Amino acid sequence: MLRLVCGAVRAAARMKETYIQTANTQALFFRGLQTSPSYNFQAGSLVSGFLRYNFLNTNINSSNIVPSPSVLQSQSRTVTKFSRQKGKRRSVRAVVQRFYRLHWGGWIRTRAGRHRFLWKKKDSLKRRHRQHVFCNATQSRLLDKMVTKFWRKPRFYVDDPYEPYHTREEYYVTRKKPLP
């Protein structure tokens, strides 16, 4: 019986030691985070760190935490206006791969997540994900600026599935045939 009690006391002391060690390492982590604003962290780890800190009842001044510029920077797909090799304008490859330009100037794209988790989606949602979506006028203008003249010209393919969508006769701006 005495051996069992002594083992329990040792285990409790060990647990207390590890708890103090983890608290010290977390305090060092956040102290280092406060002093060096160039520390590159992810937002998820920061949130979980704050939750752990609230659990430890410690005081932290959140005004000292400054994320690095790489965290605040948004994505950019900029156009190369003058390439290094030939000095020519270059298309953004992501636009050419993800979008398709119709002859009348509109751009279409597929829906995001159309191949993901199909087993949990309803049939109506699967059908909707198989359809394409038109980009609005602002997006189409931006996509036109991001590609070269080669991709803006009408391109003709054999058995093109988009053939009915290349003409837009109902609007006077995009109409090709004269009114009857």
Q: What residue spans define the domains of the chain?
A: 2-72, 93-165
Question: Which pLDDT score, from 0 to 100, does residue 53 have?
Answer: 45
Adjacency order of strands within the sheet including 99-101? 99-101, 107-110, 132-134
* Secondary structure letter of residue 32 according to DSSP: H
Token pair in block for residue 146: 């991001």
Query: 20 by DSSP, 3-state: which?
Result: helix
Q: At what angle do helices 2-35 and 43-55 cross, to 10 degrees?
A: 130
Is the Cβ–Cβ distance between 127 and 120 less than 8 Å? no
Question: Which pLDDT score, from 0 to 100, does residue 180 have?
Answer: 80
Q: What are phi and psi of 103, to 5 degrees?
A: -65, -30
Per-residue pLDDT for 26 more than 50?
Answer: no
Query: 161 by DSSP, 3-state: which?
Result: coil
Helix H or strand E encompassing 23: helix 2-35
Token pair in block for residue 44: 């998820």
Total number of residues shown for the chain? 180
pLDDT in tens, 27-69: 444 444 444 444 444 444 444 444 444 444 445 555 556 666 6
DSSP 47-95: HHHHHHHHHTT----GGG----HHHHPPP----BSS-TTT---B--HHH
Check: pTM over 0.85? Answer yes or no.
no
Question: Which pLDDT score, from 0 to 100, does residue 73 have?
Answer: 75
Question: Which pLDDT score, from 0 to 100, does residue 27 have?
Answer: 47
Strands 132-134 and 99-101: unpaired
* Secondary structure letter of residue 179 according to DSSP: P
